[in-house]
Structure 1
């Protein structure tokens, strides 16, 4: 497995500013020379192990923060944008992209947003949509993508909302019967809760203060929808304040994000942080056991595991993804270095696509990305019946994974041969930016490499990647 050096100049400057020290005094605290600190802050030299230990000892810094956050996400997003055919020429070296992400993150985000606007404009032109003639058809990020990126750059962890949900769940022993607590809380606000045979999961009428929950939904879904309504009623001020800080560009994005924050509250109340983290560690992250312990669904547990990034009490950095039968990503969150393609489907070599073929089973996979990092992936189908004959079934599959370095903390790693190199399947992010030369599932050539086409030769691919 490849080992990457740690460049964290922006984080070092952030820490020094926070503790209000000059470069000279900060260097003395870290036990390094002033020129050495200057080189680290400008990403001319990697952060040494001694400096990492000094940061933890002198300032109590959670050293995992040095290698997480926006940096790798920005690098991944820039590489995918630069793979667009509109950018002629060679792909910039990965070192240059990391420098841009570390030293000029605002500029990097602006570049990504500019490419998003270009791509959306191009798609509108290509589709010949009649809306092109309307004033509101101007190029701008879609509300859905804007909200997705908001959670993406927050590591899918919203501290104020998470702590408010935890307080609700643990107040007066509520964690033992969260469903009753939700109904009681709503009742105290004058809201009548009714369970009826209806297609809609949840329906609330403010004028009559009646909340209707579908009897066809699974019990864990019913509880989740009750808690979501608690968030909208009791935590509205907190949700609105969080939305104000996010500064969304459109009211549509703000409205979608509010639903997302209410969903976040519901999941965090159903699985309160400290209790859930301890249970996850004790069970070695047994998803089925955790689902039974907290009265949650498999998907809810997997999603919650990908949010456990509270400073000072972080869980294993997981990624979580949900795909439909066409391979389109419908949900994606990652606290790992692995970042999903922003556009299009997931790599066909991921085991998440095989989950549809073996419903009701957990599929395990050891995988390695082109950067040499190994992962252990868990996949399962999560079909959602409508609750009546003839109604369409919504079919999805989810994947949960983490770097193989954490395999010892996962019950799903038992029996896997982690020491055998050929046990790791080669996976990628997107064919356009994948550097593998011989992938048998490649859909399009890698744009940053030259191709050789021989009309007298036909292999797995009709070309050779140089």
Structure 2
């Protein structure tokens, strides 16, 4: 359901122009006056629920996609950028920000990119020595950051690859047949590629030798990892043309960004092949998003299942909008995506009150949290620690925590909401995005003051913090 005032003038105009219709003809088709349509297209009036339903019926569009979350994500990123003290002289209203993101999204992206470059330079000046500053080595976005933002702004859903993976999965009988058994036969019969064991001394997950047509896999990796790496190789052998076209359209700054994105797109296909969209979505609903049961059903890891849940954004058949993140022990977010309102901080560490940090204290358990952000939005968040390693007792173990969650309105779709009091405000922990932009004045875990607040220091009085926030 769409709530609140909805300004979608640019999308309505694009819909009309795609059919080469005049305003008068288009207005007549959807049963409104030409002047009302003109006001809608110029975002002078919101679109009504009746008009939205008429657009959906006449043009076979998904209401969720036309009101979609892409503007919300862009609005969140733009708001965070403008919270920087460098913009102290300008405080745009929410309506102004909405007009920019809805009517000039390209300009909003450009401003965010400029602010990112500014922040990177500022952080480098504060932390790097004079030589590094003079070389200006990191003035542009890193390739990794550029690729991360690419996936963020396409809603972590790549339709060409997702549909191709689903077609191949149906052809191979996945998931009714075990992907770990089907994929070796597919690689050998279609591509003449044999699956072999990597040598004991090779510290790798996968190595492909194109000359001998052999794919070497680490025999000590979990079965789910070996299956995923075989699916990755299928993407490399069968989908490179489609992947190159996606990278070309993305118009990355550097070739390095394109190469990193190619890995990400092959990984995306591998996940979509082993966890095909519609079957996976049906199982998620059937099992109420029980990660452990879903992992068992598909022969996948908890992380693979949680990550796949964050990609279920196909128009017309979307899954529950979730957020997903992976965090290391130092607090670095190494993977992130949010189809929900919650957006992760682009700079700085995540809120220490978020339960993902506690997952390291309770290995092997899934912990639950009801949380409320400063804007009043409430969430169900689950987190668990995962350990990655292979090679026996002396091999290094990598430890991460993964978090998955949704807005509380969808919590009943998750088995993890059972027994929680979703109606009591006291049950929700106050969390933020990061201390740098969090508005909470009396948080006992605050690490740094918020950027846009005045501080008062009383030398005769000391609380948890050595200052108070005005």
**Same-fold call, TM cutoff 0.5:** yes
Whole-Å Cα distance in 2 between the matches of residues 39 and 424 of structure 1? 41
Deviation for aligned residue 1:4: 4.5
SS at match of 1:383: strand
Whole-Å Cα distance in 2 between the matches of residues 122 and 436 of structure 1? 25
Equivalent positions of 1:254-333 (< 5 A) are: 254-333=258-337
SS at match of 1:382: strand
Equivalent positions of 1:49-448 (< 5 A) are: 49-89=49-89, 91-126=91-126, 127-128=128-129, 130=131, 137=137, 139-175=139-175, 176-188=177-189, 189-196=191-198, 197=200, 198-448=202-452
SS at match of 1:448: coil
SS at match of 1:100: helix
Q: TM-score, normalised by structure 2?
A: 0.93
SS at match of 2:163: helix
Deviation for aligned residue 1:252: 0.8
Deviation for aligned residue 1:69: 3.9
Summarize deviations over 1:71-117 as a string: whole Å, max 9, x none: 12222212222233333336433332222111211111111111122
Q: TM-score, normalised by structure 1?
A: 0.94
Relative to structure 1, the CA distance from residue 222 to residue 444 in structure 2 (aligned partners, 3 Å threshold; closer, same or farther) is same
Relative to structure 1, the CA distance from residue 348 to residue 237 in structure 2 (aligned partners, 3 Å threshold; closer, same or farther) is same
When structure 1 is superposed on structure 2, of 123-132 and 363-372 the one drifting more is 123-132
Relative to structure 1, the CA distance from residue 10 to residue 448 in structure 2 (aligned partners, 3 Å threshold; closer, same or farther) is farther
Residue pair 2:321, 2:339 contacting (<8 A) in 1 also: yes
Across the two proteins, how many residue pairs are aligned to each other?
A: 463
Residue pair 1:369, 1:428 contacting (<8 A) in 2 also: yes
When structure 1 is superposed on structure 2, of 117-126 and 192-201 the one drifting more is 117-126
Relative to structure 1, the CA distance from residue 128 to residue 273 in structure 2 (aligned partners, 3 Å threshold; closer, same or farther) is same
Relative to structure 1, the CA distance from residue 173 to residue 347 in structure 2 (aligned partners, 3 Å threshold; closer, same or farther) is same
Summarize deviations over 1:240-291 as a string: whole Å, max 9, x none: 1211111111111111000001100110011001111111111111111110
Pairwise CA RMSD: 2.0
Whole-Å Cα distance in 2 between the matches of residues 43 and 371 of structure 1? 25
Give unpaired runs (5+ residues) of structure 1: none
Residue pair 1:79, 1:433 contacting (<8 A) in 2 also: no
Runs of 4+ in structure 1 deviating by more than 4 angstroms, as ranges, are 129-134
Whole-Å Cα distance in 2 between the matches of residues 460 and 28 of structure 1? 64
Deviation for aligned residue 1:216: 1.3
Whole-Å Cα distance in 2 between the matches of residues 142 and 44 of structure 1? 39
Which residue of the partner structure matches residue 16 of structure 2? 16
When structure 1 is superposed on structure 2, of 427-436 and 288-297 the one drifting more is 427-436
When structure 1 is superposed on structure 2, of 302-311 and 330-339 the one drifting more is 330-339
Deviation for aligned residue 1:307: 0.2
Deviation for aligned residue 1:5: 3.2
Give unpaired runs (5+ residues) of structure 2: none
